[in-house]
């Protein structure tokens, strides 16, 4: 009998992954971003196929990742985690720049950011894994610690939105176990 | 100019990933393990193609992942992070079991473990990304916190071995920046 609590001990950070350009951009909160090779510096991020940002990554071939810190305000989580870019312009009033690849990069509550050029797209059913090579990376603010997903859950009392790879449908899990 | 320090703020956990069977098994320290879809519960782990365990995962079609805690002893890191299963039997004297899929599972210093059946293998140059569906998961010991890679680096003064996706060849990075 699978004990799904075992999954809660996997460690993740929290990021805003953005794509698009100056005319049309969007981003979403992600906990799935990691380095997959050291030379070349190559990264992977997982994105629900329904996310508006997924289409923008496919079109532009690039994405940015902003590493959020522990004191990230609820505005960022609310806007990028629980709203859709199909309904609102998530960038309204945000502090952002356009990077070396032309993609938008969120600067609010960001310790450092990375920009990647997509070299591969892996189909894992409900999600794509976008694999990309590093184009640029900068450090913005080292005064705060990176937020971990467990800190977000335990200290900030946050939960995963429905499109997250780690979303827990409690009714379903009870049936499965 | 890429600032490689930006990469150090990405959050990872630390795990022992094992594969093989009762006759021949091996494992290695990994910081790249994450959930990629929620339904079905599907996971990904990144493994250097030169790792002895990579061949065992390909042959058996399964792998286990043990989530290490903060007080994990140096024995585990030394044996699973810096030695090769081609030279020694890493399981000698370890506390292990064979799971539902038949793969070995490290129980020492483990909070919880997961077992996955490989459904896809993605080539990312020096490494494979193995994508697998959850077969079993159990919680062993919740008295310790999961260790993060930054805790390992900053508190335990650990460094990444050469086969890790996050390995830093300092001479090379200085040339690149």
Q: What is the pLDDT of residues B144-158, one digit of tens each?
A: 999 999 999 888 888
| Total beta-carbon pairs less than 8 A apart between chain A and chain B | 174
Tell me, rounded to whole angstroms, the distance of Cα B160 from its chain centroid.
12
Q: Mind telling me how many Å the CA of A90 is from chain B's nearest CA?
A: 24
Please report, rounded to a whole number, the percentage of residues in chain B having pLDDT higher than 90: 81
- Write the pLDDT tens digit of every residue in B80-124: 998 888 889 999 999 999 999 999 999 999 999 999 999 999 999
CA-to-CA dists, residue B59 to B24, B44, B62, B81, B98, angstroms: 11, 17, 8, 22, 16
Rg (CA), chain A: 16
A85: burial class by Cβ within 10 Å (0-12, 13-18, 19+)? buried
* Cα–Cα distance for residue pair B3/A169, rounded to 1 Å: 39
CB–CB of A120 and B124 under 8 A? yes
Closest CA to B156 of B164, B148, B146: B148
Among the residue ranges A65-79, A144-158, B112-126, B161-175, the one predicted with the least confidence is B161-175
Q: What is the pLDDT of residues A95-154, one digit of tens each?
A: 999 999 999 999 999 999 999 999 999 999 999 999 999 999 999 999 999 999 999 988
Give me the residues of B, 75-104, that contact A with CB < 8 A: none
Q: Does A120 touch chain B (CB under 8 A)?
A: yes
Neighbour-count burial for A37-69, b at 16+ CB within 10 Å, e otherwise: bbeebbbbbbbbeebbbbbbbeebbbbbbbbbb
pTM comes to 0.93
Choose the closest CB to A32 out of B36, B40, B67: B36
**Tokens 């990405």, located at residue:** B10
Residue A88, number of CB atoms within 10 A of its CB: 11
DSSP conformational letter for B156: S
Averaged pLDDT, B28-45: 97
- Residues of A within 8 A of B39 (CB-CB) are 126, 169, 172
| A35–chain B nearest CA distance, Å | 6
Q: Is the pLDDT of residue A172 over 60?
A: no
Delineate the domains of chain A, giving CATH numbers in brackets.
13-176 (2.30.110.10)
CB contact under 8 A, A137 and B39: no
Looking at chain B, which residue has its C-alpha nearest residue A123? Answer: B120
Average pLDDT over all residues of chain A: 93
ipTM for the assembly: 0.93
pLDDT of residue A173: 54
Pairing of strands A127-139, B15-20: unpaired
Nearest residue of A to residue B36 by CA position?
Answer: A165
Distance CA B104, CA B60 (A): 11
Distance from the first to the final alpha carbon of chain A: 6
- The structure tokens listed for B53 are 């365990």
Cβ of A169 and B38 within 8 Å? yes
Is pLDDT at B174 greater than 70 in this prediction?
no
What pLDDT is recorded for position A27?
97
Hey, are the CB atoms on B44 and A39 less than 8 Å from each other? no
Q: Which stretches of chain B are DSSP H helices? A: 52-60, 74-82, 149-154, 170-176
pLDDT-derived band of residue B173, with 50, 70 and 90 as boundaries?
low
Do the chains contact at A35 and B36, CB–CB below 8 Å? no
Helical H segments across chain A, by residue range = 52-60, 74-82, 149-154, 170-176
The predicted pLDDT at position B171 comes to 62
Per-residue confidence at B176, pLDDT binned at 50, 70, 90? very low
> d(Cα B29, Cα A115) in Å, to the nearest integer?
27
Asked if B37 lies within 8 A of A13 by C-beta distance, the reply is no
Residue B142 pLDDT exceeds 70 = yes
Please report the pLDDT score of residue A108 as a whole number: 96
Q: What is the mean pLDDT of chain B?
A: 93
């Amino acid at each position: 009998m699978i004990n799904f609590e075992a999954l809660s001990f996997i460690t993740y950070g929290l990021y805003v992954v953005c794509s698009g350009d100056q005319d049309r951009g969007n981003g979403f909160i992600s906990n799935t971003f990691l380095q997959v090779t050291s030379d070349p510096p190559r990264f992977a991020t997982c994105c629900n196929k329904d996310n508006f940002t997924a289409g923008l990554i496919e079109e532009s071939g690039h994405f940015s990742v902003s590493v959020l810190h522990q004191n990230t305000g609820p505005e960022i989580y609310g806007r990028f985690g629980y709203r859709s870019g199909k309904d609102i312009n998530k960038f309204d009033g945000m502090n952002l720049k356009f990077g070396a690849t032309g993609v938008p990069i969120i600067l609010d509550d960001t310790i450092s950011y990375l920009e990647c050029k997509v070299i591969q797209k892996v189909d894992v059913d409900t999600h794509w894994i976008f694999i990309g090579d590093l184009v640029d990376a900068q450090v913005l603010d080292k005064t705060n610690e990176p937020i971990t997903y467990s800190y977000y859950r335990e200290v900030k009392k946050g939960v995963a939105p429905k499109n997250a790879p780690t979303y827990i449908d409690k009714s379903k899990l009870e049936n499965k176990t």
